[in-house]
Amino acid sequence: MIVLRTDGSLHSLHHTLDEKAPGANLTKEEALGRAEAYLLDQKKIDLSSWNLVEPTTDKKPARTDHAFIWEQKVALDASSAQVGPNTGAHIRMQLQVQGDEVSGYRVFIKIPEVWRDAESRTTAAQIAQTFGIVLLFGAAAIIVLIVALRSLKHPEIAQVPWRRLAKWSAWVLLAAIATFVNRMPQLLTSYTTTMPLKIYYAILFISLLFVTALYATVAFLLLGLSWFFIERTFGHGRIPSWVGNRPEYYRDALCVAVFGGSVNSGNYPPSGTICALAARAAHAGCGRAGGVRRMEPGDRGFGNRNFAQFS
């Protein structure tokens, strides 16, 4: 692999060799000499400001590979870094000597372990926040469950169309599955090799079953409770269905959806007048023409009114 800089010049060359590929068997000192010569001649780096921190040797079947990592003596945050080893962020560079071939040059930043430990440590505030959120949602779920169980005593609960709501909840189930599958690449990035891949797949599958079933169940219960309380508040049969209504209902709903916002803007006639005009146009084909009465704001009979009276 060839790595180029933004100006098109060569930055580094990475060569992947087979484990059994033949090569030279240099000693650590000989390989280090080749690596230092490469850094001095090709990269123009003065190694007097660097420390060799991680030299490694890997004996292959037909050659010997070496890897060296240097660390810059001055930390990037030298002004704020604490005194002592393993403190401060340092620039590091790595170089490989595969047989007698120098390659694999790269530069990276070494984050101090002290900072990693401090950032990964869970504080008391974070623990309290996590438990607070869990308790909040748990209390809300318990309240909803108590209300649902108490509502079972009412005869109106049997009038809730549970089968229809189950079909609606199936769409939530499909959406949850699609969302989980869409996040699969992100979930796979969190896989660690310390766990067998089959076990990780099994955990993901169990999580899929649990999460999607939870979403569908919550949606089913919320729809059922909503239906029950709406009918209890406004009366039985007040919730409109998707089909089976009179044509005037769909016409009125379309007018309210399209022109309802224009009532507050003041730039267009009120929606009652527009719907009345639509009613007149609807009946014009039947030879029924006549005056149009404007519906004033606050007319509570708008939703159930037969627009034939405006023709």
Strand partners, 54: 69
Per-residue pLDDT of 175-221, as tens digits, reads: 888 888 888 888 888 887 777 888 888 888 888 888 888 888 888 88
Question: And the tokens for 169?
Answer: 């909840």
Pairwise CA distance, residues 214 & 236, whole Å: 30
Q: Which residues contact 309 (CB under 8 A, 6 or more apart)?
A: 293
Per-residue pLDDT of 237-248, as tens digits, reads: 666 666 667 777
* Per-residue pLDDT, 262: 57
Higher pLDDT, 279 or 108: 108
Per DSSP, the residues of 66-125 read EEEEEEESS-TTTTTPPSSTT-S-EEEEEEEEETTEEEEEEEEEE--HHHHHHHHSPPHH
Per-residue pLDDT of 91-135, as tens digits, reads: 999 999 998 889 999 999 988 877 777 777 767 787 788 888 888
Query: What Cα–Cα distance (Å) separates residue 197 from each residue in 188, 201, 204, 211, 213?
Result: 10, 6, 11, 21, 24
